[in-house]
Every structure is written in C-alpha cells, then in structure tokens.
C-alpha cells in the first residue's frame, strides 16, 4: 500500500502502512508496552521503543523472532516548557523496526529510504541525513554515508556530526552502543547561515527518523569492541511525520489534536486564535499526555514524586492555562473524554480505565484549586509589604513557584497589577540551582538497574516474582502488580490493595518468599502463546504488548508470570529476602521495599 502523491494522510493509515511495510519484509508486530519501563530505574517513563526490548538487545531470545515492528507509546519530559510551539510534545507515538542480530546497516538504510520515498512519496530532495563523523575511539561511519548515496542522496544532503548528535548508548555505564544515522525533512526555509544543517535549531530541518546501529560494546575501562550480535533500533515520530505528510506547519493541525482543540473551544466558548493559541495547545497536549499516563494499566496517580510528580505538573499546568482563559470550572474530564474518544479504538486501555482517569482528574483539580487559593493569599501577603515601584525578590517568586505551582509569568502578572516588579534574574538563578539539585539527586537515585544487566538486579527481578506470588497467596487473587523499580541495593514493588498490610500479613509474605529461596528451586522458562499461558494460570499485566508467543517464567509452587526477563537460574541465589517497608503509593496502590542477600 503506497501513498498517492499529493494525497492527505490519516494517522491510522500511517500506522497501518508502516507496520504492513515491515511485516512484508519479515518483521513480526509486537504491541505497545507500558509507559512505565519494567525494572529500569534509569528513566521515569518509556521514552523510546528500545526500553521494553533491552533484554533482547542484550542477547535474550525474543519469542517473536529477530525482526520486529511496533508502535510504542512514549513520554519525554525534558521539553515540557517548550510545549505550545509547533513541534514539541510530551506524549507521542514512536514507530519502530528492529533487527536483533539479523540485518544491519545496508538493509536498514535501504528499507528506510524505500518507505520514505516510494511509500510515503517524500521527494528525495526534501531529505537530509546525518552520520557519525568518528573520533579517536570509533572510526568515521563512511559505510552509512556511502549507502545513502548509493540509494539516491547527494553528497550535499549528508552531514557528519559527533557523539552529541550521532551516537547512542550504552544504556548504562557499559553495554551495547553505536553510531546512528538520523533522517530529516527539509521544511523549505532559507538557511540561517553558512553552517546551517540538521543540527541547527532554526527550524529548516525537522528530524523524522533515527536508525541506531548497535555494533560496539563499551567496557568498564571505556574501551570499545565489536559486538557478536549487532542490532538495529529505529524510531520514527508519528506526530511529526503526519504533520509533514499533510503539509501542516505544526502538530496541532493534525487529526491527533483537532478534536481535542475543538472540544476546548466548545467548553470555553472561545476561538483558538493568535491571542490564546499557545494556551489551547498546552491544554490539549498536556491533557492528552495525562489521559495516557492515567490510563496505563499500572495505575499511576498524581503525587509529589517520580512519575506522579510529572503527571501532577502536566495537569496543574493545564489548569493554570484554563484559568488564564477565564474558565473557573473543572473542564478537565470533558477534555479527557475527547482524548479517550479519539484514541480509544487504538489503545483500549483508555476505555477500560476511563473511570480511573476521570476520578483522578477530578481529585487533582479539587486539590489544586485549594492550593491555588492558598498561593494567592501568600502572594498577597508578600505584596502587602512592598511599595509601588519596588521589587519582589526572586527568592519569594521561586517560593510561589515551588510551593504553590505558580509560574513566574503568573507572579509577574499579579505583581504588575500592584505596580510592583519581580526580580526575574534572581528567580532564574534560584530555578537553575533547583534544577541542578534535582539533577544530582536523580543521578544518585537512579544508579544501577536493568540497563546494566547486573547479577544483583537480575536476582532482585526474580525476587519481585516471588513477592508477587506471595502477596496474592496472602491477600488474594485481586492483587496485581502496579509497578516496580530496581536498583543495585533494593527492589520496590507496587501492587493493588486497598489498605495497610498488618504485621502478621507482612511476616507471612516474607516467610513464603524465604521458603522458596531455601528450597533452591530452578527457575523454568518456556515459550507459550498468550492463550496457552493464560490457560496455565500465568499472570501478566500488559496483554497488548504480547505477540503470538511469550516467555513464561515459572517458580513451581510459587510463581508463574509472563515476562521478558532476565532471571536468576535458581531461587537459592537470592539467599535471603527482607521487607524493609510497606506504605501507600497512591489511592488503592500499596508499595513494598525489600532487599535480598
């Protein structure tokens, strides 16, 4: 199925065309995994299609084979403040194709070129690519450049850049990594200068696809050796490609956002024009992201930490924009319903979890409305101590931001009504200091994890299976995993349960896990169809991500789960299991922290 030149393209058409193209070339489709990576504490969200596939990129055999294609839900949080422009979004869909030790650079580049120029009918002259320029450790990727020219690109369409632009990985301190070649679309704008190229931020070039060639292994000493299993990992942004294919200038003109924007117009009785366009865009984008995060089977709720904090930030920013439009009633749920209606046919979890999505949005709106009122009272107290023409310190402006969620622009607006200025320079300094502290803290917090594939994290992963089984044995079959986080020191396991566990229940769970460890049981792994796995009593959260065959890990008498691994070979390797803490994670979700050894 090829696109006719000049014809508009629908989102479903692009999704279907991409998957079918690679299926015709021997790839098996796998479904989207959760927005929250399993056992990878290095990131809060699934930011690319590679996260669910880390074990297989590291050498595990995938049940669907060594050629895969998928459409992965993703969230990236680094650009939240840029949302509202033409291209930046927090939630997006990543189209990806994978080779796990099968084809490599030539076939990958040939297929990418064919899909773009013959199936999407993008003119060759509108494309530009970047390749790795090489350094003292790894040579220049002349092979990729020559392959692009062999397929039809001219030399002036190929740009060489260093590691910052054209290198991926490793996911941890060591492991698979390699150069990439990124594909850009020329928007037709004039060059901003002699050095204007795809790495330039002027808007002439928009990245649409990235092909990563994992051909090296980085060791502890920082050296590189060639991998025996060389992988290809690609990612194409659905939103950006759809924008380009329809001749639009921004993602909000596409069908992915139009129904949501129309809903906001209807609810506010306002038109999306130049005066409020940015606010409309922020509300629609953040509510789309929030609906997907809340609709995920792991049931994350707004909170003051980790994924919950990001979710809260998105929702509250949307609330602020709604109030700036002059709307003082809760329309969040109405907007979320528009998102569910638009995407529910593709992502059934939004429909299944609709009640939870709406419930959490209602709670967060009510909570922030109280916080907003408190913040206004505090701001009034600050202003009452100042004369006209004086300055509100940046420290106090940052306190309003940090404590009450007031953006500095909102504080400036409040101050200007009283003819008071705000020390923006000091605020920005305080904000940068806050960001640096957060970055350092996150760096310490997220050391280790599945990405390093260490022996200890592998054992802890196995311990989560035993813990899950023990919890279901003690608390009942309505208990399901709602998330997990592993580092080299401990495991953290979230599960559905409505109350605090008793001391006796915790002791019994700990006893069951240690009983399994003492028995030194071999961990079994078998491939099954999803139907066979369910018939055998295996549990698994994300049915949509499974293909025709899955891996079922069994610890006889204690656990049977669908999982990608990795796992210990024998329960005896865990030595001893100890629960450190049991606490609330969010409404209806409890959390256990535990150690082994």
3-state SS, 291-352, equals: HHHHHCCCCCCCCCCHHHHHHHHHHHHHHHHHHHCCCCCCCHHHHHHHHHHHHCCCCHHHHH
Let me know: does 216 contact 176? Beta carbons within 8 Å.
Answer: yes
Sequence ranges of the domains in the chain: 11-252, 257-376, 385-440, 454-596
Q: Is 498 marked as a binding-site residue?
A: no
Crossing angle (nearest 10°) for helices 258-268 and 332-343: 150
> The pTM is what?
0.74
Q: Is 272 marked as a binding-site residue?
A: no
- The per-residue b/e assignment along 444-481, b for 16 or more CB within 10 angstroms, e otherwise, is eebebbbbbbbeebbbbbbbbbbbbbbbbebbeeebbb
CA distance 357 to 337: 9
CA distance 485 to 491: 6
The CA distances from residue 298 to 351, 455, 560, 586, in Å, are 15, 26, 19, 11
β-partners of residue 167 are 179
State the DSSP code for 363.
H
State whether residue 219 is helix, strand or coil: coil
Let me know: does 143 contact 177? Beta carbons within 8 Å.
Answer: no
Other CB atoms within a 10 A radius of the CB of residue 201 amount to 7
Through-space distance between the first and last CA atoms of the chain, rounded to whole angstroms: 56
CA distance 224 to 178: 10
Show contacts of 257-266: CB within 8 Å, 24+ apart. Answer: 257/281, 257/284, 257/285, 257/288, 259/338, 259/341, 259/342, 260/284, 260/287, 260/288, 260/335, 260/338, 260/339, 260/342, 263/334, 263/335, 263/338, 264/331, 264/335
State the DSSP code for 276.
T
CA neighbor of 223 nearest in space, from 141, 163, 138:
138
Per-residue pLDDT of the chain (597 residues; tens, 9 = 90+): 566 555 578 999 999 999 999 999 999 999 898 898 875 666 788 888 887 887 888 778 888 999 999 999 999 887 787 888 887 899 999 999 999 999 999 999 999 999 999 999 999 999 999 999 999 889 999 999 999 999 999 999 999 999 999 998 876 677 788 999 999 999 888 888 888 999 998 888 999 999 999 998 888 888 898 888 899 999 999 999 999 999 998 899 999 999 999 999 999 999 888 789 999 999 999 999 999 999 998 878 887 677 887 898 899 889 988 988 989 899 999 999 999 999 999 999 999 999 999 999 999 999 888 778 788 889 999 999 999 999 999 999 998 888 887 767 668 878 988 999 999 999 988 888 876 665 544 343 333 234 456 778 889 989 999 999 999 999 998 888 887 888 778 999 989 898 999 999 999 999 999 999 999 999 998 888 877 888 888 887 544 444 567 788 999 999 998 887 678 899 999 999 999 999 988 777 899 999 998
Q: What is the pLDDT of residue 15?
A: 95
Q: What is the pLDDT of residue 564?
A: 73
Tally DSSP H helices, then E strands, for the chain. 18, 18
DSSP per position, 383-416: HHTS-TT-EE-HHHHHHHHHHH---HHHHHHHHH
CA distance 140 to 131: 8
CA neighbor of 55 nearest in space, from 519, 557, 449, 544:
449
Q: What is the pLDDT of residue 448?
A: 29
Q: Is 563 marked as a binding-site residue?
A: yes
Strands 550-555 and 559-562: antiparallel
Let me know: does 252 contact 50? Beta carbons within 8 Å.
Answer: no
CA distance 423 to 184: 41
Let me know: does 590 contact 500? Beta carbons within 8 Å.
Answer: yes
CA distance 176 to 159: 24
Q: Which fold has domain 454-596?
A: 3.30.980
Q: Is 27 marked as a binding-site residue?
A: no
Q: How many residues does the chain have?
A: 597
- CATH node for 11-252: 3.30.930.10
């Amino acid at each position: 199925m090829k696109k006719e030149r000049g014809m508009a393209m629908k989102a479903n058409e692009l999704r279907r065309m991409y998957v079918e193209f690679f299926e015709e070339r021997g790839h098996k489709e796998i479904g989207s995994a959760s927005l929250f990576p399993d056992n990878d504490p290095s990131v809060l969200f699934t930011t690319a299609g590679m996260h669910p596939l880390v074990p297989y990129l590291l050498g595990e055999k995938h049940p669907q084979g060594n050629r895969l294609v998928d459409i992965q839900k993703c969230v990236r949080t680094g650009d939240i403040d840029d949302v509202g422009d033409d291209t930046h979004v927090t939630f997006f869909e990543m189209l990806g194709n994978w080779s796990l030790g099968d084809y490599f650079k030539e076939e990958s580049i040939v297929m990418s070129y064919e899909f773009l120029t013959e199936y999407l009918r993008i003119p060759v002259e509108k494309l530009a690519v970047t390749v790795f320029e090489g350094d003292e450790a790894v040579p220049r990727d002349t092979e990729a450049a020559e392959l692009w020219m062999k397929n039809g690109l001219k030399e002036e369409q190929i740009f060489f850049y260093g590691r910052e632009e054209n290198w991926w990985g490793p996911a941890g301190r060591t492991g698979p990594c390699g150069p990439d070649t990124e594909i850009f679309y020329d928007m037709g704008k004039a060059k901003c200068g002699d050095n204007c190229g795809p790495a330039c931020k002027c808007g002439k070039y928009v990245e649409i696809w990235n092909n990563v060639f994992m051909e090296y292994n980085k060791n502890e000493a920082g050296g590189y050796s060639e991998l025996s299993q060389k992988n290809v990992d690609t990612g194409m942004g659905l939103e950006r490609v759809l924008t380009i294919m329809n001749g639009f200038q921004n993602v909000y003109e596409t069908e992915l956002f139009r129904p949501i924007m129309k809903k906001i117009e209807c609810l506010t009785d306002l038109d999306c024009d130049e005066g409020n366009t940015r606010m409309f865009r922020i509300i629609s984008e953040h509510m789309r992201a929030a609906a997907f995060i809340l609709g995920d089977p792991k049931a994350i709720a707004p909170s003051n930490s980790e994924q919950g904090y990001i979710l809260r930030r998105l929702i509250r920013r949307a609330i602020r924009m709604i109030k700036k439009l002059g709307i003082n009633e809760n329309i969040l749920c109405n907007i979320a319903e528009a998102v569910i209606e638009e995407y529910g046919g593709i992502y059934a979890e939004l429909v299944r979890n609709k009640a939870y999505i709406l419930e959490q949005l209602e709670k967060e709106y009510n909570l922030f409305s109280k916080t907003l009122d408190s913040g206004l009272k505090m701001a009034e107290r600050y202003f009452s101590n100042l004369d006209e023409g004086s300055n509100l310190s940046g420290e106090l402006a940052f306190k309003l931001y940090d404590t009450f969620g007031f953006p500095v622009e909102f504080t400036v607006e409040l101050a200007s009504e009283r003819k008071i200025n705000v020390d923006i320079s000091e605020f920005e300094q305080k904000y940068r200091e806050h960001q640096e502290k957060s970055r350092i803290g996150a760096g310490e917090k997220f050391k280790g994890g599945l990405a390093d594939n260490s022996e200890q994290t592998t054992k802890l992963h196995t311990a989560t299976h035993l813990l899950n089984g023990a919890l279901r044995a003690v608390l009942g079959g309505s208990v399901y995993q709602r998330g997990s986080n592993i580092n080299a020191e401990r495991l953290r396991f979230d599960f559905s349960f409505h109350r605090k566990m008793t001391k006796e229940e915790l002791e019994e769970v700990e006893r069951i896990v240690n009983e399994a460890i003492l028995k030194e049981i071999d961990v079994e792994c078998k491939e099954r169809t999803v139907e066979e796995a369910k018939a055998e009593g295996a549990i698994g959260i994300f049915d949509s991500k499974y293909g025709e065959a899955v891996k079922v890990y069994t610890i006889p008498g204690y656990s049977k789960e669908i999982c990608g691994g990795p796992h210990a070979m024998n329960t005896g390797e865990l030595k001893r299991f100890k629960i450190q803490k049991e606490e609330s994670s969010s409404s209806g979700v409890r959390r256990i922290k535990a150690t082994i050894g």
